């Protein structure tokens, strides 16, 4: 086993794929000269001169240019700086990137990865803190992933870069510095987009999450165990496509479901999970579905306020206990 941070693990994924395929290149703001504003591209510009490109602050070009490059036959990885800026090139994402293959009757391929650092950190306030992954799960033609740990970060990013379809890769800013264990090089398991991972097997309640929400999920399960509640924990990793079957199978076993994500609860991806379970397995449920996410409020600046909109492991523990 090796220990790497989430950021280092993404660098490994980039380096390994770029080494193999000269058609892969990277563009975004502050990448070549700084290695990314969170250090997530550190070392790559030196290793791959000319293939890590600093762009102007031109989000419609970064994404639209990435789509054009993909249509021309390259394999771009584009960086969004902060996931919050993704509204600027929205047309390039949902009308161009997502639809080119379909509307041109299969003539086009868009093997593009859009990396989007998200989540609350450093009191970034309303425009530098959001989790917007759910918006993109509503758009056919793109894939959405949000890994929660260094090993997955690497393998999911490799899978994203190797995919011939566009992938939005949401990477939580807090997680960049988190360390985790990875198997030795050569014994890693490739990741298949769309597959969830069973993190903890249990019989009493299913806790589903992804990205940083997994901290709450795993944390709650550990504490609940002491109180005699045996929680099963699923890391979705992919949100579009998502592993519906893994969740349904688990709920059919545990009869209780708790969903957690950092994103705003209303219209969040948890709503899709809850609705699917209600549609397809409601008769297996012994209790109402629990769903945790941020309140319907922009992310505030002041520490007292920002603290208030976070989801806490204690919230899950209290809620889960209340349904037994």
In the complex, minimum distance from the CB of residue 112 to another protein, in angstroms, rounded to a whole number: 10
Q: Which stretch binds another protein (CB under 8 A): 94-102, 120-128, 202-210, 256-264?
A: 94-102
> According to the binding rule CB under 8 A, does residue 140 interact with another protein?
yes
Pick the closer one to another protein by CB: 96 or 149.
Answer: 96
List the beta strands (DSSP E) in the chain. Answer: 2-5, 24-28, 52-54, 75-79, 113-118, 143-145, 167-172, 179-182, 197-200, 205-209, 231-235, 238-240, 257-264, 290-294
> According to the binding rule CB under 8 A, does residue 14 interact with another protein?
no
Answer yes or no: 81 catalytic. no
Residue 46 CA from chain centroid, whole number: 27
Torsion angle in degrees (nearest 10) through CA of 105, 110, 111, 117: -140
> According to the binding rule CB under 8 A, does residue 67 interact with another protein?
yes
Pick the closer one to another protein by CB: 30 or 306.
Answer: 30
In the complex, minimum distance from the CB of residue 135 to another protein, in angstroms, rounded to a whole number: 18
Q: Which stretch binds another protein (CB under 8 A): 10-18, 136-144, 216-224, 299-307?
A: 136-144
Taking the C-alpha atoms of residue 30 and residue 318, their distance in angstroms, rounded to an integer, is 43
> According to the binding rule CB under 8 A, does residue 19 interact with another protein?
no
Taking the C-alpha atoms of residue 240 and residue 260, their distance in angstroms, rounded to an integer, is 17
Residues in the chain: 324
Beta strand 205-209 pairing with 257-264: parallel
Q: Which stretch binds another protein (CB under 8 A): 10-18, 38-46, 56-64, 197-205?
A: 56-64
Contact 82, 176 (CB under 8 A): no
Q: Which stretch binds another protein (CB under 8 A): 161-169, 256-264, 273-281, 301-309?
A: 161-169
Q: Which two tokens stand for residue 313?
A: 């492991």
> According to the binding rule CB under 8 A, does residue 244 interact with another protein?
no
> According to the binding rule CB under 8 A, does residue 252 interact with another protein?
no
> According to the binding rule CB under 8 A, does residue 15 interact with another protein?
no
Question: Contact positions toward another protein, by CB under 8 A?
Answer: 22-23, 25, 50-51, 53, 55-56, 58-61, 63-74, 76, 91-92, 95-96, 100-109, 140-141, 143, 163-165
């Amino acid at each position: 086993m090796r220990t790497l941070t989430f950021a280092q693990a993404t660098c490994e994924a980039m380096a390994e794929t770029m080494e193999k395929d000269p058609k892969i290149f990277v563009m975004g703001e502050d990448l070549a000269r700084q290695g990314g504003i969170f250090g997530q591209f550190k070392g790559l510009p030196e290793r791959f001169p000319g293939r890590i490109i600093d762009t102007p602050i031109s989000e419609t070009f970064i994404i639209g240019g990435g789509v054009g490059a993909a249509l021309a036959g390259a394999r771009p990885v584009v960086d969004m700086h902060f996931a919050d800026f993704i509204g600027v090139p929205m047309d390039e994402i949902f009308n161009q990137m997502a639809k080119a293959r379909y509307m041109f009757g299969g003539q086009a391929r868009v093997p593009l990865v859009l990396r989007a650092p998200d989540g609350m950190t450093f009191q970034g306030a309303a425009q530098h803190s959001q989790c917007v992954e759910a918006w993109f799960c509503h758009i056919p033609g793109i894939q959405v992933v949000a890994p929660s740990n260094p090993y997955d970060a690497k393998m999911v990013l490799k899978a994203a870069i190797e995919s011939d379809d566009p992938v939005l890769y949401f990477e939580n800013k807090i997680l960049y510095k988190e360390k985790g264990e990875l198997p030795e090089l050569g014994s890693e398991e490739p990741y298949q987009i769309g597959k969830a991972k069973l993190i903890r097997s249990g019989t009493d309640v299913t806790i589903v999450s992804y990205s940083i929400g997994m901290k709450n999920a795993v944390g709650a399960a550990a504490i609940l165990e002491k109180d005699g509640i045996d929680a099963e924990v699923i890391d979705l990793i992919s949100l579009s496509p998502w592993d519906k079957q893994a969740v349904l199978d688990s709920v059919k076993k545990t009869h209780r479901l708790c969903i957690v994500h950092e994103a705003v609860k209303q219209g969040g991806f948890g709503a899709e999970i809850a609705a699917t379970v209600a549609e397809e397995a409601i008769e297996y449920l012994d209790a109402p579905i629990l769903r945790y996410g941020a309140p319907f409020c922009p992310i505030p600046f002041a520490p007292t306020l920002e603290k208030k909109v976070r989801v806490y492991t204690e919230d899950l523990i209290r809620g889960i206990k209340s349904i037994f």
